[in-house]
Chains A and B, each alone.
Chain A
Amino acid sequence: MDLTLKVWRQKNREEKGRLETYKVTGISEHASFLEMLDIMNEQLIKEGTEPVAFDHDCREGICGTCSLYINGEAHGPDRKVTTCQLHMRMFKDGETIYIEPWRSAAMPVIKDLIVDRSSFDRIQQSGGFVSVNTSGNTQDANALPIPKMNADKAFDAAACIGCGACVATCKNSSAMLFVAAKVSQFAYLPQGKVEAKQRVLNMVEQMDIEGFGNCTNTGACEVECPKSISIEYIAKMNREFLSASCSSES
């Protein structure tokens, strides 16, 4: 496959940045999208151009770092995949492909296609955990009875890899799906219930401080989420938030 790539280049946080056009040739349709970018970068190095910086780590859809907005969609045209799981057979020979970083005030570009996603970390640090001592005295997992449905719901929410596709794709740059997943994964479990009220209030507050937008229920996030997190978790978070803000004891 021969392709024309329009790639976002930006030296650092401060620089304005621009789209550059690169041509790549002889790409296998079995290559992954990131392999295609590797080939492009080798080509750029040979030409004496600085290679394009992009985030990646596991390359198997679990770390969530490979955040690219490809041809107008988070993680490209395929569904339920991260960029590293996207294959070139989803594209046509001769196609022009736009490759841009996530766009959000709360996730500014650091360099080229890499964004600063520490806003997600700060949201997590504000409440996305359970404060129990787990070292050395781990309980038998079956000691606490948990209804199957709750276990399933918590597990589905816990599938979120924090990739940020929901933010990137949302017209409001809202982080509701991410935060909802992180709130819900604990809210459904007895261990998480202890701090549930404080958790949801703190995490929503941190989300707002970071400058993410407000949800307008377009549903775009659940379509683009590589882990199929449903917006029913957003409703769950809204319930948690409402009940916590109406009844918080502290």
Chain B
Amino acid sequence: MRNAPTETGPFWPRDLDWHPKALTPGYKTSVLRSPQKALLSLPNTLGEINGPLFGHNMIGEFDNDLLINFARPGETAIGERIIVHGYILDEHAKPVSNTLLEVWQPNAGGRYRHVKDGYAAAIDPNFGGFGRTLTDDDGYFAFRTIKPGPYPWPNNQNDWRPSHIHFSVFGPGFAQRLISQLYFEGDPHIALCPIVNTIKDPQAIDQLTAKLDMDNTIPMDARAYRFDIVLRGRRSTLFENRMEGN
């Protein structure tokens, strides 16, 4: 009943009230880094509808296992062992298959392996803090890691980030490109965090909160957290842009 494959249609516009605004003074760095003029709305052209192509051959066997992908042979990262898993779907709940998900995070003490991070918490020699995976045909992904620690950051005088994992997702169209952060159910820092609170709708914040998943927890080994990601969906092209006489 459709006159074009769904992979080639334009996307629904972004709900910019669901996302954080550019200017969010509670998060001070946004003040000088937020465009002040209105965004110019464009119809999707081929460039936005298409996106880069990545193959399974780029993914290494342990890329999604942060417990061991940086560790010395026979050793593992220090911290609470967890599995984070879920589905990447579009707004129509259609699986987004074979798409690249990249993650990065600090270690169990809240310290990043980064030249610019000088926090007092110790570096874990067995933890790099990053991984990647491609979703399968059902849009499913999973990675194994340690639960990241909260850390202080310069904003107000005593701001602490909730435990979080940064993530980056592609989707088949460049207009779907998304970077965000995953939080953990029950963390009291979520409500206190100026970066979380750049998002106004509590349901949107809940959408970034991974839920403890006892059904998929591996007894005596690792707890599971469930986290689904939704990317923009494509509009129906049924009656749109059809030339007269076609």
Real binding pair? no
Interface residues in chain A, defined as those with a beta carbon under 8 Å from any beta carbon in chain B: none
Interface residues in chain B, defined as those with a beta carbon under 8 Å from any beta carbon in chain A: none
